[in-house]
Amino acid sequence: MTFEVIFNSFQEAADEERAEKMAAYMRNQFSFLGVATPKRKALTKDFYRQVKGQTIDWAFVDACWACPYRELQYVAIGYLQQLKKNLVPDDIPRLQKIAQTKSWWDTIDGLDKLVGEIAFRYPEVKPILLEWSVSDDFWLRRIAIDHQLLRKSETDTTLLANILVNNLNQTEFFINKAIGWSLRDYSKTNPEWVREFIRTYENQMAPLSIREASKYI
């Protein structure tokens, strides 16, 4: 199934009224076809099943990212999630490129899991995440902060702490929210570690971060 086939199926399912609402929800930064999530999943179900076990077709990913309609970026992330076990350190620059193109939380929060998959299997890329944690691009910093979500007991707490400390004293909403999410997620596994982090850095943490981090402790 080619990009053109996928794109045509989405065009046939377009809903102009829904598209306007979806664009408004994203502050009108992107154009939408108006394909809701359940319909998008139905349209890509067979395609995702077919690609399992294949090598990653980065030309397909690039075509999706070049598409003016936001739903196709979601298709690309879903495609990469199906093939995440095939991701290797050499793919980090490709993921960085798309992370820094048409950036917003909806795609970044899918890409962080893909980067996290690579970092988990290839610890040698951890220095890259540390570099991203001090990047001028706060979206890369957000990926670094949240790339270990759902790791539970396999969380690298030294890396997590270093990345979080690099992002304290911030005013950027998306960074402070990410800090809170990462701590909240890990608090389910090690609440005392999170309590100690908050006690140590409370004066440098935004109220939003503390509120999110403290939800379960």
What type of residue sits at position 201?
A: Y
How many beta carbons lie within 10 A of that of residue 178, not counting itself? 30
Contact criterion met (CB below 8 Å) for 114 and 83? no
Q: What gap in Å lies between CA 140 and CA 123, rounded to an integer? A: 18
Position 95 pLDDT exceeds 70? yes
At 50 the pLDDT is 95
Q: What gap in Å lies between CA 104 and CA 18, rounded to an integer? A: 20
Identify the three-state secondary structure at position 69: strand
Position 62 pLDDT exceeds 90? yes
What type of residue sits at position 176?
A: N
Q: Kindly state the average pLDDT of the residues 177-195.
A: 98
Share of the chain above pLDDT 90, in %: 99
Contacts 24+ apart (CB under 8 A), 163-171: 163/129, 163/130, 163/133, 164/197, 164/201, 165/201, 166/130, 166/133, 166/134, 166/141, 167/133, 167/141, 168/201, 168/204, 168/205, 169/204, 170/206, 171/206
DSSP string, 98-147: HHTSS--HHHHHHHHHHHHHHHHH-GGGHHHHHHHTT-SSHHHHHHHHHT
Number of alpha carbons in the 13 Å side-chain half-sphere of residue 118: 26
Length of the chain measured in residues: 217
Identify the three-state secondary structure at position 72: helix
Share of the chain above pLDDT 70, in %: 100
User: What is the end-to-end Cα distance of the chain in Å, rounded?
Assistant: 47
Does residue 22 or residue 1 have the better pLDDT?
Answer: 22
Q: Tell me the pLDDT tens digit for each residue of 129-160.
A: 999 999 999 999 999 999 999 999 999 999 99
At 1 the pLDDT is 63
Q: Tell me the pLDDT tens digit for each residue of 193-204.
A: 999 999 999 999
pTM of the shown model:
0.95
